[in-house]
Chains A and B, each alone.
Chain A
């Protein structure tokens, strides 16, 4: 009897583990959707906050997060792709290349709050940018760099050597081969990595704490040299620092829901690009 039963018990043990992990995701999504849905309205995402954040919408936080993500992309994407191209296409196997690879692996493990300190010391104070959109964008750009490099390099590695040799064989220089042949064929893979990295950057809070984010600004965010509002920070402030926390709880739920929708939309875009590409192979 026991012998027949034990495979079932074992199977259920593992299923229980998996179920528990998935239940975390379900609880997060269910709670945010159920309690945030009533707050969500056209007005909520297009209006300015009013009456000390207890009424109105979160438009400045949304535009702030979008602009911040664009600045991050402008910093990290060209540098990241450039570095990945160098490592995969040019770099000789020497100590310098190993040092670059070691640095990238290290950087991807550095806690995000330390990037925040680095941004504060280098951009805000060292370069005199002050707490601003550009300082925060540069900080998030540095944080995103290692992820973009490794995903881009992986995409480049999948392009067969024969593709490059064909281009070089008909007389292209190495740069022309990379620009016209290698990068276009690796584009879907690169894009997937970039979008996933940006979705992570959009939800980051710790690196922007001291580099430019503000709880309240007048007008809408978007100027590079000014402080800005951002969705993750807004959620943090509404749920822990506001003087009437219970009163603004619905607004916090609404903000959390908008944030998670933004992040998941970016993720779905990445999944879609990857899915389409994997079908073409």
Chain B
């Protein structure tokens, strides 16, 4: 090929690559526009105040109700429950892998954690139906164990690999001198981990928790299969709940195009988008904080 032709090709290809970059912005922009547009259409039919403060979600009743509080509380309930289980287990496991396990054991444990992350959410939801559900039912003497607790346990399993991996990264990123200084003044390994390593890695651990929570909040299939999906206002961990994601999954398949109900599902999706965005941004902020320390 002549030089001129090669250079023309070079310029053309650069343009193509650049277009793919712009496409990414367009996808995010498209998602935003879609959510905002439909939410706006929804607010033409239903007052925003009723949407935000309503305690009843019943779009197909005689008098349709679009209060999102029960969905929001359901999502908060299962997510907080999942975090209560996953945070201690995740930090403990990360500390074990990073501070106690030898190199050989670490090379076995890390791929196993990755395998747990690879299990599809629908398979974990199935586990909730066939194992966790009957387990809860037999302990609490309920008819079935499809409730918030079940969802929380499953979401903990989904969030754990993220929490463990990010926490372990943060612990590994700490300079070895921190540990040596601690041992130097006579601290034991446990004291070093508790009083030096974990506090020093705190921003990274908070980031891990945030990213894990972001994953749990947006998870659909596990909660759809395991929480029973009763649309009443959630009463507690041993009652059936219905999260934002599950509501979208259940109702979107049946609503007619461009009805109030259709728009309402986009409106709760916009709320979900906003929550996960804030949680992920918080996580990212803390990731950058521990990266900064690392360079210094």
Which residues of A does B touch, CB under 8 Å?
Answer: 6-7, 10-11, 13-18, 20-22, 24-25, 27-28, 31-32, 79, 82-83, 85-87, 89-91, 97, 99-100, 103-107, 109-118, 120-122, 125, 142, 145-146, 149, 173-176, 199-200, 202-206, 209-210, 232-233, 235-236, 239-240, 249, 252, 256, 259-260, 263-264, 267, 271
> Does B122 interact with chain A (Cβ within 8 Å)?
yes
Instruction: Give the nearest-CB partner of B214 in chain A.
Output: A109
8 Å CB contact of A18 from B24, B30, B34, B97: B97
- B-side contacts of A17, CB under 8 Å: 88-93, 96
Task: Determine which residue in B22, B25, B30, B118 has the highest number of CB atoms from chain A within 10 A of its CB, and name it.
Answer: B118
- Whether the Cβ atoms of B21 and A87 lie closer than 8 Å is yes
Instruction: Give the nearest-CB partner of A235 in chain B.
Output: B122
- Whether the Cβ atoms of B249 and A114 lie closer than 8 Å is no
- Whether the Cβ atoms of A109 and B277 lie closer than 8 Å is yes
Number of interface residues of B (CB under 8 A): 82
- Whether the Cβ atoms of B21 and A100 lie closer than 8 Å is yes
- Whether the Cβ atoms of A111 and B218 lie closer than 8 Å is yes
Instruction: Give the nearest-CB partner of A26 in chain B.
Output: B112
Contact A118 B126, CB 8 Å, known A27-B131, A113-B269:
no
Contact A25 B218, CB 8 Å, known A107-B28, A260-B120:
no
- A-side contacts of B21, CB under 8 Å: 83, 86-87, 91, 97, 100
- Whether the Cβ atoms of B14 and A175 lie closer than 8 Å is yes
- Say how far A96's CB is from chain B's closest CB, in angstroms: 8
> Does B23 interact with chain A (Cβ within 8 Å)?
yes
Per-residue interface assignment for chain B, residues 6 to 31, with 1 indicating a CB less than 8 Å from any chain A CB and 0 otherwise: 11011001101111111111011011
> Does B183 interact with chain A (Cβ within 8 Å)?
no
| 24 residue pairs from A and B, CB less than 8 Å apart | A6-B190, A18-B93, A18-B96, A22-B109, A22-B112, A24-B116, A24-B157, A25-B116, A28-B124, A107-B24, A107-B28, A113-B218, A113-B245, A117-B265, A117-B269, A174-B14, A176-B6, A205-B121, A210-B253, A233-B122, A239-B225, A240-B224, A240-B225, A256-B126
- Whether the Cβ atoms of B114 and A267 lie closer than 8 Å is yes
- By Cβ-Cβ distance, the 7 closest A-B pairs, closest first, are A203-B120, A111-B218, A17-B92, A82-B20, A86-B17, A109-B280, A14-B96
- Say how far B205's CB is from chain A's closest CB, in angstroms: 14
> Does B100 interact with chain A (Cβ within 8 Å)?
yes
> Does B169 interact with chain A (Cβ within 8 Å)?
no
- A-side contacts of B20, CB under 8 Å: 79, 82-83, 86
- Whether the Cβ atoms of B89 and A106 lie closer than 8 Å is no
- Say how far B132's CB is from chain A's closest CB, in angstroms: 10
8 Å CB contact of B218 from A15, A103, A110: A110
Contact A110 B249, CB 8 Å, known A204-B120, A205-B121:
no
> Does B149 interact with chain A (Cβ within 8 Å)?
no
- Whether the Cβ atoms of A236 and B125 lie closer than 8 Å is yes
Per-residue interface assignment for chain B, residues 78 to 120, with 1 indicating a CB less than 8 Å from any chain A CB and 0 otherwise: 0000000000111111011100100000000101111110111
- Say how far B121's CB is from chain A's closest CB, in angstroms: 7
- Say how far A155's CB is from chain B's closest CB, in angstroms: 16
- Whether the Cβ atoms of A114 and B225 lie closer than 8 Å is no
Instruction: Give the nearest-CB partner of B157 in chain A.
Output: A24
> Does B155 interact with chain A (Cβ within 8 Å)?
no
- A-side contacts of B76, CB under 8 Å: none
- Whether the Cβ atoms of A111 and B253 lie closer than 8 Å is no
- Whether the Cβ atoms of B25 and A103 lie closer than 8 Å is yes
Contact A252 B248, CB 8 Å, known A264-B115, A264-B118:
no
- B-side contacts of A176, CB under 8 Å: 6, 10
- Whether the Cβ atoms of A117 and B248 lie closer than 8 Å is yes
- Say how far B158's CB is from chain A's closest CB, in angstroms: 10
- Say how far A238's CB is from chain B's closest CB, in angstroms: 9
- Say how far A142's CB is from chain B's closest CB, in angstroms: 6
Instruction: Give the nearest-CB partner of A210 in chain B.
Output: B252
- A-side contacts of B257, CB under 8 Å: 125
> Does B272 interact with chain A (Cβ within 8 Å)?
yes
- Say how far A177's CB is from chain B's closest CB, in angstroms: 10
